[in-house]
Copies of this chain bind each other. A is one copy, B any other.
Amino acid sequence: MPRVVRLAVAQSGPIQKDERRERVVARLLAMLKQAAARRCHLVLFPELALTTFFPRYYEAERADMDRWFEAEMPGAATRVLFDTARELGIGFSLGFAELTPERRHFNTQILVDAEARIVGRYRKVHLPGHAEFEPQRAWQHLEKRYFEPGDLGFPVWRTMGGVMGMCICNDRRWPETFRVMGLQGVELVMLGYNTPTLNSMKPEETAATRMHHNHLCMQAGAYQNACWVAGCAKAGDEDGYDLMAGSCIINPDGEIVALAQTSDDEVIFHDCDLDACAFLKQTTFDFAAHRRIEHYGLISSQTGAVPPPE
């Protein structure tokens, strides 16, 4: 019996700084209903889907940052998303800023099944940017200030008929992300992103080059691990700061099979046949037959680059 996940990727248009959670959730809810009407099994929302991309704003004090975080999931504003998903029998994956009971701060994405149970939790490992105000940047990217690096590694979950994994935004640029999941047999990786359309450190870098980077990393992760990859953007102009769109679904050949056409709220769909992962997993990427771990030691033993002496 084929294992087909009918997947929706619910790209979000911009969320302005003063936009309230309830209004944002209403937008997500409309897209969830659209996906359910198409009989999707699962809908993917972006990274930090409930707020503007707040790491662009410097705050001196920790307490002034916490308003962007969710201390409960579901909480007052998000419960309707869980309740509606349960009623409609659709799963979802949602990114948000997580404040734990121990007052730890993570950039988190959860996987919620069709009974509205949280069956998977991922905390972003590769935090880009910086921790202190950097005046040379055209805008700030303070993820290393707002969050601590994820402490859960790259787990996968056998759920919804397949082996599911998650990662978030900058994680997609690091092949280690996909490989650790590939070594656990992942069949579908879901990720959200908030990525500036231009580079705050290199004004001449074009939007096209940056979109190419975005897709290249996801396509390589899909092919080299013989899995589906779905990327969901928060896109458009947030209070004058533009985020790239380009949400997509990628097959295990690394080919884009669905692509968002706007920079606004937009749902794209694809029937992802998880059995389509098997051919490459059993041939070109039969890891047991072909990987040579005796030569990979540096990858997990050395953090930074060490060039040979001049």
Contact = CB atoms under 8 A, between A and B. Distances in A.
B157 A308 contact: yes
Interface string A161-186: 00100000010011110011011110
B216 A175 contact: no
A102 interface: no
A279 B213 contact: no
A253 interface: yes
Nearest to A209: B253
A179 B125 contact: no
Contact of A149 (B149, B182, B292): B292
A299 B183 contact: yes
Given A216-B223, A219-B216, A304-B287, A175 B184 contact: no
Contact of A308 (B163, B202, B216): B163
A180 B299 contact: yes
A310 B224 contact: no
B307 A158 contact: yes
Given A179-B299, A219-B216, A295-B153, A305 B284 contact: no
Interface residues of A, number: 65
A101 interface: no
Contacts of A298: 179-180, 183-184
Interface in A277-310: 279, 281, 283-288, 290-293, 295-310
B309 A288 contact: no
Given A220-B217, A255-B212, A300 B300 contact: yes
A156 interface: yes
A192 interface: no
A254 interface: yes
Contact of A304 (B174, B223, B224, B291): B291
Contacts of A303: 287-288, 291, 293
Contact of A212 (B180, B253, B293): B253
A224 B150 CA distance: 21
A201 interface: yes
Nearest to A307: B185
Contact of A185 (B150, B202, B290, B306): B306
Interface in A213-252: 213, 216-217, 219-220, 223-224
Contacts of A163: 307-308
A154 interface: yes
A33 B176 CA distance: 41
Contact of A184 (B217, B279, B293, B306): B306
Interface of A: 125-128, 149-150, 153-154, 156-158, 163, 170, 173-176, 179-180, 182-185, 201-202, 209, 212-213, 216-217, 219-220, 223-224, 253-255, 279, 281, 283-288, 290-293, 295-310
Given A156-B307, A180-B299, 11 more contacts: A125-B292, A126-B292, A127-B290, A149-B292, A158-B307, A174-B290, A175-B220, A175-B224, A180-B298, A184-B305, A219-B220
